[in-house]
Structure 1
Amino acid sequence: MYTLYEMAASGNCYKCRLAMTQLHIPFERVEVNLQGGEQYGPAFKAMNLNSKVPVLKIDAQRALPESNAILCFVAEGRALMPSSPWAKAQVMQWLFFEQYSHEPYIATVRFWKAFSGAPERFAADIARCMPRGYKALDVMEQHLSRNVFFADNIYTIADIALYAYTHCAADGGYDLHAYPHIRRWLHRVEQTADFVPLKA
């Protein structure tokens, strides 16, 4: 059985839980004490030299860091990853978009505002990042005005990756009122089989 080393409130960790739950892949959860610095200890660094969660322990010899790499690994050959090269390339397109243009602004602002304990210290960073976060939301809204899901118009790990931090963007002060297509897409994701919420 796989073991997911995580922080429960992290959207990146949630992606992995949601995908494995919907794919009916058994796994155990281990909460990593990030505030206590557990991720910098030798046991954790043996799994991930970058000292970040999530990490999926596959077996005694193998551990896989990085949320979107984990998504690709668990979905390969299963329902959440299409088999055609073109559709798979679309999945990868949105996974790269999520990590480069979306997560650094949506997720980071959420952390500063909701979890840092001192959001005023990050006021300048928040002001710099929020327009970029809205730009990512604009791209998503335009795509969803013509599509029901992100890759090949079917529900895939691309949707899971983008759902994880978009659905809680309000924690960082993002207002989704002007994004009706995103809001309808969020609802569609939540209606998929075996969906579990972030705080489950």
Structure 2
Amino acid sequence: MRLYSMPSSGNSYKVRLLLALLGRAIETTDVEYLTEALEGAKASGRLPFGKAPVLELDDGRLLPESNAILCWLGEGTGFVPADPFARAEMLSWMFWEQNQHEGLIAVRAALLTYPHRRAQATPDRLAALLDSGHALLQVMEDRLTGREWLVGDGATLADVCLYAYTHTADERGGFEMARFPAVNAWLARVAALPGYVGLDG
């Protein structure tokens, strides 16, 4: 298999993180923003939705979208609960991550990180993203208060999924993570999982 991965992207990182936690090594092609590699991958049809990550299977089939890739890789592993309700609950957090969390936490970080996005980083927009992002982080704080993982008694795909952008929310997005002690304790638990690699790992 081959992973088309954008090194700076949390969406790509969550796939690399799960692969590391599973002890699986695959070929990786880096397709960072504004590079010839990204344009080449698009031109070759390797990015069906025009963005990374995409997992190319051994038989040539292409699977886009980070959380779909997580589900495919996680099938039959301990990162997917056996109980149907717990599994659905895991998926609900993963849907929430893409529908709510990423659009605030990741977008604010992108506006502050990528030079080609800085024209969109108006004070009003950054302030609105900060306030709304803090509200979403409070949802996670409430969920994780008194429990170790988002779903069940162990790490699931939901934890891998939401870790990706949350663990850099302070340094890249400017969010006040000191306000969320339960989230910070959870971040430390994810980072302590066997096989863990960081964003730059």
Task: Specify the alignment match of 2:80 in structure 1.
Answer: 81
Task: Specify the alignment match of 1:49 in structure 2.
Answer: 48
Task: Specify the alignment match of 2:131 in structure 1.
Answer: 131
Residues 48 and 64, structure 2, Cα contact 8 Å, conserved in 1 = no
Partner Cα separation in structure 1 for residue 176 and residue 118 of structure 2: 18
Partner Cα separation in structure 2 for residue 10 and residue 148 of structure 1: 26
Q: Where does 1:148-167 land on structure 2 (aligned, <5 Å)? A: 148-167=148-167
Is 1:180 the counterpart of 2:181? The answer is: yes
Task: Specify the alignment match of 1:9 in structure 2.
Answer: 8
Q: Deviations over 1:48-97 (max 9, x none)?
A: 33201001111243011110000000001112111221111111011011
Partner Cα separation in structure 2 for residue 3 and residue 112 of structure 1: 29
Q: Secondary structure at the match of 2:115?
A: coil
Shift of 1:121: 3.9
Shift of 1:180: 0.5
Q: Where does 1:72-111 land on structure 2 (aligned, <5 Å)? A: 72-111=71-110
RMSD: 1.8
Partner Cα separation in structure 1 for residue 89 and residue 194 of structure 2: 22
Distance 1:61-1:132 versus aligned 2 partners, 3 A rule: same
Query: Unaligned 5+ residue runs, structure 2?
Result: none
Shift of 1:44: 5.0
> Identity over the aligned pairs, expressed in percent?
35
Distance 1:141-1:31 versus aligned 2 partners, 3 A rule: same
TM, length-normalised to structure 2: 0.91
Shift of 1:114: 1.6
2:72 aligned partner, one-letter code: F
Q: Secondary structure at the match of 1:16?
A: helix
TM, length-normalised to structure 1: 0.92
Distance 1:39-1:118 versus aligned 2 partners, 3 A rule: closer
2:188 aligned partner, one-letter code: H
Shift of 1:120: 5.7
Query: Unaligned 5+ residue runs, structure 1?
Result: none
Q: Deviations over 1:101-128 (max 9, x none)?
A: 1111001110110223563641232222
Residues 81 and 157, structure 1, Cα contact 8 Å, conserved in 2 = yes
Partner Cα separation in structure 2 for residue 33 and residue 161 of structure 1: 20
Query: Which deviates further from its counterpart, 150-159 or 122-131?
Result: 122-131
Task: Specify the alignment match of 1:197 in structure 2.
Answer: 198
Q: Deviations over 1:16-40 (max 9, x none)?
A: 0010111122211111143036545
Q: Secondary structure at the match of 1:177?
A: helix
Partner Cα separation in structure 2 for residue 146 and residue 64 of structure 1: 36
Partner Cα separation in structure 2 for residue 72 and residue 41 of structure 1: 27
1:132 aligned partner, one-letter code: S
Residues 140 and 183, structure 2, Cα contact 8 Å, conserved in 1 = yes
